Amino acid sequence: MLAIAIAAGGCAVRQETRSEALADAAQEMTATAERVVFDQERLPLLRAAIDGLKADLSAFDDVMAQATDEIHVLNARADVTREEMEAVLDRFEARREQARLQAIRRHFELIALTDADEWSALAPYERRLVLAAGRKP
């Protein structure tokens, strides 16, 4: 019985939240930057860009969550008009596109702040950040 209880307890491990995953990935990316970027003038700019990317990806998540909530509220109404639904979808698409473009601008800012070897070391952490942002809450 004890073995079963221990095994079952191991399944109850708390999952990392999206914001925790974003913070961890950004922290690892920053730590790697501090290890591989020796230019003390670029390093603070790179740290700020990494923090900015984390904020941009978090903002993108917020846009997605807000749109989902708005659509669910409208969808629950029996009297919702096509125009109301289209307006919500149009606003969502505009906000999503703006957030996506900001994240892309930040990506190119990071590349501009690094040389090829530095970026090669940092790129997997950027990917982790993006994947963390895209996971379910």
The pLDDT tens digits of the residues spanning 111-137 come to 999 999 999 999 999 999 998 887 666
Residue 53 lies in a domain: yes
pLDDT at 2 exceeding the cut of 70: no
Whole-number pLDDT of residue 12: 55
Residue that wins the pLDDT comparison between 61 and 80: 80
Residue 97 lies in a domain: yes
Residue 76 lies in a domain: yes
Q: What average pLDDT score do residues 69-97 get?
A: 91
Whole-number pLDDT of residue 63: 85
Give the number of C-alpha atoms closer than 13 A to the C-alpha of residue 64, restricted to the C-beta side. 13
Residue 7 lies in a domain: no
**Strand stretches in 11-65, DSSP E:** none
Residue 8 lies in a domain: no
> Which residues touch 70 (CB under 8 Å, ≥6 apart)?
88, 92
Q: What average pLDDT score do residues 77-98 get?
A: 91
Into how many domains does the chain fold? 1
Residue that wins the pLDDT comparison between 62 and 26: 26
pLDDT at 89 exceeding the cut of 60: yes
**Cα 31 to Cα 35: distance, rounded to the nearest angstrom:** 6
Range of the domain at 83: 18-134
Whole-number pLDDT of residue 5: 46
Q: How confident is the model at residue 13 (pLDDT cuts 50, 70, 90)?
A: low
Residue 95 lies in a domain: yes
Residue that wins the pLDDT comparison between 115 and 9: 115
Whole-number pLDDT of residue 3: 45
In percent, the amount of the chain with pLDDT more than 70 equals: 88
Residue 5 lies in a domain: no
Residue 74 lies in a domain: yes
Residue labelled with tokens 């009297």: 79
